[in-house]
A and B are shown apart, each in its own frame.
Chain A
Amino acid sequence: MPAERARNYQKGLKAERRAVWWLRLKGYRILGSRVKTPVGEIDLLAKRGTVLVAVEVKTRPHIADAMEAIPPRQWQRIAKALEWWLAGHQQKSFSNKPPDLRFDAVFISPGSWPRHIRDAWRPGGLK
Chain B
Amino acid sequence: MDITGMTAVELGKRIQKRELSAVDAVKAYLAQIDQVEALVHGFVTVDREGAVKRAETVQKKIDDGTLAGPLAGVPAAIKDNLCTKGMLTTCSSRILENFKPTFTAEAVKRLENAGAVVIGKTNMDEFAMGSTTETSYFGVTRNPWDLEHVPGGSSGGSCAAVAAEECPYALGSDTGGSIRQPSSFCGVVGIKPTYGTVSRYGLIAYGSSLDQIGPIAKDVTDCAVILETLAACDRKDSTSMPRENYDFRGALVDDVKGMKIGIPQDYFIEGLDKEVKEHILRAAAVLKEKGAAVEEFDLSLVQYAIPAYYVIASAEASSNLSRFDGVKYGYRTSEYEGLHQMYKKSRSEGFGAEVKRRIMLGSFVLSSGYYDAYYLKALRTKALIKQAFDKAFEKYDVILAPAAPTTAPELGASLNDPLKMYLGDIYTISVNLAGLPGISIPVGTDSKGLPVGMQIIASCFDEAKLFRAAYAYEQTKAYERPRLVKETRKERRER
Asked if A pairs with B, the answer is no
Chain B residues proximal to chain A, CB less than 8 Å: none
Chain A residues proximal to chain B, CB less than 8 Å: none
